A and B are shown apart, each in its own frame.
Chain A
């Protein structure tokens, strides 16, 4: 007898929930149909000789170019890509940590959403991450020349924007209990940050940094398309020569590098969090 009212409310709740999901499904189906209409079907989907190119590419994947000359280039460009990623990410940390701290507003007890410093930091972070790293790289190279620093800055600016936003969210999401205990013991907001918030977010922040390192290696690869001589540059040159086997050597090198970083990070995370 008692369960009846409960069932009633469940029944009353369900149609509304169902309705909003159904609306979402309809929107998604409509979006798919609309985007399909915008493909130029009439001109033909495949390139003349597109299938032959696909077959050549597939065959070349099984026979990557492993000559000494190519492998030496691969080793050099793997190191260059890794170096750009590490330097870029460390600079991104220098940009993102203080900006994220300001944007989170945790250092001042009275900081509201309308705090101008906070608002400005949020806007700056959003602006940094809305421009893609390859676009930053091209703009820097066009402005000042082919400096390795152009690649590092191009990586550091959007990644600083992303890291800042994530750090801000992590700092805000620390549970209130331990922080209140610190405050009631007389700690200032700065002390609460160093002894309460920072230790709490450290493991999450570390694992996110590793994920970003993986992304950073991919981004550093892409960056070198503007002429900065990393993996991406060699992939581009190989494909311009229609040398699919050589292109796959560099692509497979990238995949192995990312797999190694992933393995390292998961091994490290397991030991830090458990």
Chain B
């Protein structure tokens, strides 16, 4: 078989090696997780674990506590409403900064726009792409840990951290849209005498912007879920409250924060679906 299709044979070789390597990593991962890695004194698959988990669920609900659970008190809801409002503002600020950054640079990282522009264009392309990869590879939480050293506490450091990561994501997605788009409008503009810059503005932007809006709104849905994580370290919004409640063993407040998140996530998903309809 392989002598009949030598090229096919070579391709399958790489795929086979990949499958074997993947399986080896997979099996050793499970061996590591279940056996070799540090474990507490009792087994994970035991009645001890089940009992602890059940006790924790009771804590979250507030079973056996004399005081009323936080999520049943109106005053607790109104106290945390301010934090939910801040969290929403953080998510909007983050996605807007990310979008502005992406809009400013996405053309510079599109292969078909920058290709054939000589050495300066090539260097710009490489640098811009590397910046995106760097911004994207570092998780939001790590950016937040760094941002708290620079910005004063509040929603800003969290928003900046979310913005940097999503700037990398949105720019790459926008550049991919440019690379996969219909080039005929640009060619038509060029042949009608439009300069390079004008051809890009009138030929590329109208095609790319609707898709960009869709991506932006999808990323907003991701960002609102992630605000809780940057809030842990960036001293803003519901994430901060979650951290404090966990540290002080106020587990019914933890439940309250999670309920707020359910409200926020559902609200943002609905709003984003509505706005996506406008973008079409």
Given contact pairs A47-B150, A255-B134, A268 touches B262 in the complex (Cβ within 8 A): no
A28 within 8 A of B: yes
B188 within 8 A of A: no
Tell me whether B14 and A267 are in contact (CB under 8 A): yes
* Min distance, Cβ B267 to any Cβ of chain A, angstroms: 12
Q: How far is the CA of A131 from the CA of B149 in the complex (A)?
A: 27
Within 134-151 of B, Cβ neighbours of A (below 8 Å) are at 134, 137-142, 145-146, 148-151
B residues lining the A interface (CB < 8 Å): 11, 14-15, 18, 25-26, 28-30, 32-34, 37-40, 44, 49, 52-53, 55-57, 85-86, 89-90, 92-93, 96, 133-134, 137-142, 145-146, 148-152, 154-156, 159, 213, 225-226, 228-229, 232, 242, 246, 258, 261-262, 265, 275, 278-279
Chain A interface residue count, CB cutoff 8 Å, equals 70
Contact of A235 among B49, B142, B151 (CB under 8 A): B142
Q: How far is the CA of A148 from the CA of B155 in the complex (A)?
A: 32
Tell me whether B145 and A134 are in contact (CB under 8 A): no
Most A CB within 10 A of own CB, among B32, B133, B150, B278: B150
Chain B residues near A132 (CB-CB < 8 A): 225-226, 228-229
Given contact pairs A24-B213, A45-B156, A144 touches B53 in the complex (Cβ within 8 A): yes
Chain B residues near A172 (CB-CB < 8 A): none
* Min distance, Cβ A242 to any Cβ of chain B, angstroms: 8
Chain A residues near B159 (CB-CB < 8 A): 35, 39
Tell me whether B14 and A82 are in contact (CB under 8 A): no
Q: How far is the CA of A40 from the CA of B15 in the complex (A)?
A: 54
Q: How far is the CA of A143 from the CA of B55 in the complex (A)?
A: 8
Contact of A143 among B52, B137, B152, B261 (CB under 8 A): B52
The A interface is mostly helix, strand or loop, or mixed, namely helix
* Min distance, Cβ A214 to any Cβ of chain B, angstroms: 9
Tell me whether B152 and A271 are in contact (CB under 8 A): no
Tell me whether B225 and A83 are in contact (CB under 8 A): no
Contact of A251 among B44, B138, B279 (CB under 8 A): B138
Chain A residues near B140 (CB-CB < 8 A): 222
Contact of A46 among B14, B142, B151, B261 (CB under 8 A): B151
Most A CB within 10 A of own CB, among B40, B57, B151: B151
Given contact pairs A50-B151, A132-B225, A21 touches B279 in the complex (Cβ within 8 A): yes
Contact of A254 among B32, B137, B226 (CB under 8 A): B137
**Closest 3 interchain pairs by CB?**
A143-B56, A35-B93, A38-B89
Would you give 13 A-B contacts (Cβ < 8 Å), ordered by A? A35-B92, A36-B93, A47-B150, A53-B150, A83-B33, A84-B29, A84-B33, A87-B32, A135-B228, A139-B56, A149-B33, A218-B139, A222-B141
* Min distance, Cβ A93 to any Cβ of chain B, angstroms: 11
Tell me whether A130 and B262 are in contact (CB under 8 A): yes
Tell me whether A147 and B44 are in contact (CB under 8 A): yes
Chain B residues near A46 (CB-CB < 8 A): 150-152
Contact of A43 among B38, B92, B152, B279 (CB under 8 A): B152
Tell me whether B29 and A251 are in contact (CB under 8 A): no
A57 within 8 A of B: yes
Tell me whether A232 and B18 are in contact (CB under 8 A): no
Chain A residues near B85 (CB-CB < 8 A): 38
